Amino acid sequence: MSNYHIKNLQEYFHLYYKSVRNPELFWEEIAEENFVWRKRWDNVLSWDFTKPEIKWFEGAQLNITENCIDRHLHTRGDKTAIIFEPNNPNDPAEHITYKQLHERVCKFANVLKDKGVQKGDRICIYLPMIPELAVAVLACARIGAIHSVVFAGFSATALATRINDCDAKIVLTSDGSYRGAKTIDLKGIVDEALQDCPGVTKVLVAKRIQSDIHMEAGRDEWLQPLLDSAASNCEVEIMEAEDPLFILYTSGSTGKPKGMLHTTGGYMVYTAYTFKNVFQYRENDVYWCTADIGWITGHSYIVYGPLANGATTLMFEGVPSYPDFGRFWEVVQKHKVNQFYTAPTAIRALAKEGTEHLEKHDLSSLKVLGTVGEPINEEAWHWYNNNVGNSNCPIVDTWWQTETGGILISPIPFSTPTKPTYATLPMLGVQPALMDENGNEIKSNQVEGRLCIKFPWPSVARTIWGNHQRYKDTYFSAFENMYFTGDGALRDEVGYYRITGRVDDVIIVSGHNLGTAPIEDAINEHPAVAESAIVGFPHDVKGNALYGYVILKETGESRDRDNLRKEINQQITDKIGPIAKLDKIQFTVGLPKTRSGKIMRRILRKIASKDTSNLGDTSTLLNPEVVQKIMDDAF
């Protein structure tokens, strides 16, 4: 276990240099000493970023659920694997032991098998944050089915696109979900989506809100009776290390969502290793990540990483504001949470409420605080540090992406001195590079550039489902022999990294990754709209909010503007989901364009941010006169 647990900065540097000098040897030792393999690998790593093709632990065989569940049964059978904290604080929490998790996963896996699911089949999971979601994910992995979890806040259209893209035949969902004081008709959304998904033959429905829903004869079945009668043991499917584990969709700057494909062996090793070190998890700790399993954060750091370490991981069904803004702290106190991992947008929303809620709760169990999803601003960092951590808990600002599978840049608590707004140093084996506009690597410190990674790490996504060319174009073509992240970053005088934000047309709103193109497409489908352009502008809680510039067709000119604004946002809600709604909509007669017809978003961003003192060179525009017009209308 020597390499597995980093305890001080000296050890970090020692291991980091080892991991860079000989990555194969480094990861081989970690893999060998800390996991259960049915067959050893023939080759630790083969890679070629020009194809691109990356393979870790080729020839090895394993099942990730054997590593996340079965191997703990002797030593941790009665230990709580998952704490489920329901939406309603008056409902009891559920403690699921490793033994119980084993049985539930086996039963679920047997139900899937009984429905004809085989290794390699894609299963779409559209469930709220209830135990069935984690169990369903693990059940798929146990039998080698590829899960594709779709966040249960996405609309019917977004769900249908994702089901069809990976050709899923089975959908796992629930009657509905709770969200604070509201309920959401999930099954109704699924029914609507499935009108456009002829390939789906089976829908299994968990009961959560006891609502009266439509059950399509021959297609829909209640899950619970099937689980009740299923056998409680299910042998694991033996998987190759490079067999697919899951697909998870993420927005791109253009076109339809990208189904990032993650494989089994490397993903397991990397998420387990980073979980242990980034959160400094100790045997009896209670760890809580507030993300939804519908995002990569939940896959890697609610389910797989923690369970591979035999940890106790908390799943929270609710929202930070229900029944009031003290809910997070109530849950921390109630379950004596030791590691708490959330998003800057949540921190900013809570900070707005002052410290009154914090003072009512005992947070002394906390040891490590984490953040993820977007850059954390200095003010939010200090509020988190001073008030939640009592200046006593290191903050791990973890930078990573759906595509990276696991955390790539983060402090190691109690080892790496933290610095507000800095994600600090690369994880073991991770080799970042900053690139200039001409494609050259900037080697010095105190510089800013485009963030790339020079060498493969075990959990990098292997392809985009059904579109390897897009995978190559998006990540491996901007810079030669490098993985391009799409982010800008700054490196300070000691080599610490600070992520400055996206350098492409992706906007991060409340930690959600949104591409401008799909939103514009949704708006343009409105019959009164001729064209639109979306940009981000700073927002004190969401980090960024969306600003839409909309050109109306002649037929739309006479319409009431406020009604149109409502309809446009409804259109976005229907096509994508409420997370993509616009905060501001400005109707305009034109958009600044280059001579090649590209919208100059740089200018639109500045106007949206009320930062028009220096608009840069507008002389190359096709229609420079439109800029003044937009500014006049904006203010």
Three-state secondary-structure class, residue 397: strand
Question: How far is residue 144 CA from its own chain's centroid?
Answer: 22
CB of 455 to ligand WT7, least distance (A): 19
Select 384 or 400, whichever has its Cβ closest to ligand WT7.
Answer: 400
Does residue 236 interact with ligand WT7 by CB under 6 A?
Answer: no
CB of 196 to ligand WT7, least distance (A): 25
Distance, CA of 173 to CA of 180 (rounded, Å): 19
DSSP state of 555: G
Nearer to ligand WT7, 97 or 339 (CB): 339
DSSP string, 237-292: PPEETTSEEEEEEE--SSSSPEEEEEESHHHHHHHHHHHHHHHT--TT-EEEE-S-
Of 126, 329, 340, 400, the one binding ligand WT7 by CB under 6 A: 400
Stretch that binds ligand WT7, among 201-209, 231-239, 396-404, 471-479 (CB under 6 A): 396-404
Interface region with ligand WT7, contact rule CB under 6 A, candidates 356-364, 462-470, 483-491, 534-542? 483-491
Closer by beta carbon to ligand WT7, 320 or else 373: 373
Give the nearest distance from C-beta 141 to ligand WT7 in angstroms. 20
Question: Would you say 197 or 452 has its CB closer to ligand WT7?
Answer: 452
Binding window for ligand WT7 (CB under 6 A); candidates: 14-22, 77-85, 290-298, 331-339: 290-298
**C-beta of 103 vs 374, nearer to ligand WT7:** 374
Burial of 74 (0-12, 13-18, 19+ CB in 10 A): exposed
Toward ligand WT7, which CB reaches closer, 41 or 295?
A: 295
Q: What are phi and psi of 233, to 5 degrees?
A: -130, 140
Of residues 141 and 407, the one with the C-beta less far from ligand WT7: 407
> What is the closest distance, in whole angstroms, from the C-beta atom of residue 525 to ligand WT7 in the complex?
25
Q: Give the span between the Cα atoms of 431 and 481, in whole angstroms.
A: 13
User: Facing residues of 59 across strands?
Assistant: none
Contact by Cβ (8 Å): 551, 589: yes
Q: Comparing C-alpha atoms, which of 540, 512, 543, 580 is closest to residue 373?
A: 512
φ and ψ at 529, to 5 degrees?
-100, 135
What string of H, E and C letters represents the secondary structure of 578-620? HHHCCCEEEEECCCCEECCCCECHHHHHHHHCCCCCCCCCCCC
Which of 161, 271, 342, 401 binds ligand WT7 (CB under 6 A)? It is 401
Closest CA to 329 of 283, 362, 293, 282: 362
C-beta closer to ligand WT7: residue 344 or 592: 344
- Helix H, strand E, coil C: the string for 473-527 is HHHCCCCCCCEEEEEEEEECCCCCEEEEEECCCEEEECCEEEEHHHHHHHHHCCC
Instruction: Tell me which of 80, 398, 416, 544 binds ligand WT7, using CB under 6 A.
Output: 398
User: Which residue among 23, 144, 305, 486 contacts ligand WT7 (CB under 6 A)?
Assistant: 486
Our CB check for ligand WT7 shows the closer of 57 and 279 to be 279
Count, residues near ligand WT7 per rule CB under 6 A: 22
Contact pattern for ligand WT7 over residues 405 through 444, marking x by CB under 6 A: ------------------x---------------------
For the bound state, the minimum distance from the C-beta of residue 277 to ligand WT7, rounded and expressed in Å, comes to: 16
Distances (CA, A) of 599 to 527, 545, 594, 613, 621: 22, 19, 6, 20, 9
What residues numbered 129-158 form the site for ligand WT7, per CB under 6 A? none
Minimum distance between the CB of residue 506 and ligand WT7, rounded to whole angstroms?
7
Beta bridge partners of 85: 316
Q: Which of 502, 490, 517 is nearest to 423 (CA)?
A: 490
Provide the minimum distance between the beta carbon of 42 and ligand WT7 in the complex, in angstroms, as a whole number: 32
Asked if 339 contacts 285 with a C-beta cutoff of 8 angstroms, the reply is yes
290: Cβ contacts below 8 Å, ≥ 6 apart: 316, 320, 328, 340, 341, 342, 343, 346
- Pick out residues in 294-323 that bind ligand WT7 (CB under 6 A): 295-297
Least distance to ligand WT7 from the beta carbon of 374, Å?
A: 5
DSSP H or E run through 396: strand 395-398
Do 395 and 414 contact (CB within 8 A), yes or no?
Answer: no
Using the rule CB under 6 A, which residue among 502, 581, 601, 606 binds ligand WT7? Answer: 502
Cis peptide bond N-terminal to 52, omega within 30:
yes
Q: Reduced to 3 states, what is the DSSP secondary structure of residue 210?
A: coil
Nearer to ligand WT7 among residue 113 and residue 502 (C-beta) = 502
Q: Closer to ligand WT7 at the Cβ: 98 or 484?
A: 484
- Residues from 85 through 104 that contact ligand WT7 (CB under 6 A): none
Q: Which of 513, 516, 544, 569 binds ligand WT7 (CB under 6 A)?
A: 513
- What would the x/- binding string for ligand WT7 be over residues 348 to 387, using CB under 6 A? ------------------------xxxx------------
**Is the CA virtual torsion 224, 230, 232, 233 positive or negative?**
negative
- In the complex, the smallest distance separating the C-beta of residue 571 from ligand WT7, rounded to whole angstroms, is 23
User: Which CB atom, from 295 or from 383, has the smaller least distance to ligand WT7?
Assistant: 295
| Footprint of ligand WT7 (CB under 6 A) | 250, 295-297, 372-375, 397-402, 423, 485-487, 499, 502, 508, 513
